A and B are shown apart, each in its own frame.
Chain A
Amino acid sequence: MSVVDEFDPHALAEQDFLDEVHSFQFWFDSVEGYLSDRPYGRLETTVDEPIDDARRERLITTLCNYSVGETAALEGAAGLVQLAPDRNSKIFMATQVADEARHLEVFLHRLRELGVADPEAEIERRAQPALVDFKGALLDLVAEGDWQAAVFAQNVVLETMEYTVFRLHAANADPVTRDVLAGVISDERRHAGFGENDLGRSLAADPSGRARLREIRTGLDAMVVGVFEAALADIGAPAGERSQLAHEYLDTIERLGLT
Chain B
Amino acid sequence: MTDIDVSAPGIGADPSRRRYELEETGFKEVPKKWRKFYRHWGGPLDTLAPNEVICPVCKVVIRATRELRPGDKVYCMPCMSRMVVVVAESGRLEAEVIF
- For the complex, what is the distance from the CA of A30 to the CA of B78, rounded to whole Å? 9
- For the complex, what is the distance from the CA of A30 to the CA of B57, rounded to whole Å? 18
Does the CB pair B78–A4 fall under 8 Å? Answer: no
B70-99 at interface with A (beta carbon < 8 Å): 72-82, 97, 99
Main secondary structure, interface of A, reads helix
* Interface residue B19 (Cβ < 8 Å from any Cβ of A): yes
Chain A: interface size category: 35 or more
Does the CB pair B33–A7 fall under 8 Å? Answer: yes
Within 8 Å CB of A26, what residues of B? Answer: 30-31, 77
- Of the listed stretches A14-22, A69-77, A102-110, A173-181, name the one at the interface; the rest are far from the partner chain: A14-22
- For the complex, what is the distance from the CA of A204 to the CA of B99, rounded to whole Å? 7
Chain B: interface size category: 35 or more
- Of the listed stretches A138-146, A191-199, A229-237, name the one at the interface; the rest are far from the partner chain: A191-199
B-binding residues in A (CB < 8 A): 1-5, 7-14, 17-18, 20-22, 25-26, 29-30, 33-34, 163, 186, 189-190, 192-194, 196-197, 200-201, 203-204, 251-252, 255
Within 8 Å CB of A1, what residues of B? Answer: 15
Given contacts A11-B11, A18-B80, A193-B81, 4 further A-B contacts (CB under 8 A): A10-B64, A189-B79, A193-B80, A200-B99
* Interface residue B9 (Cβ < 8 Å from any Cβ of A): yes
Within 8 Å CB of A200, what residues of B? Answer: 97, 99
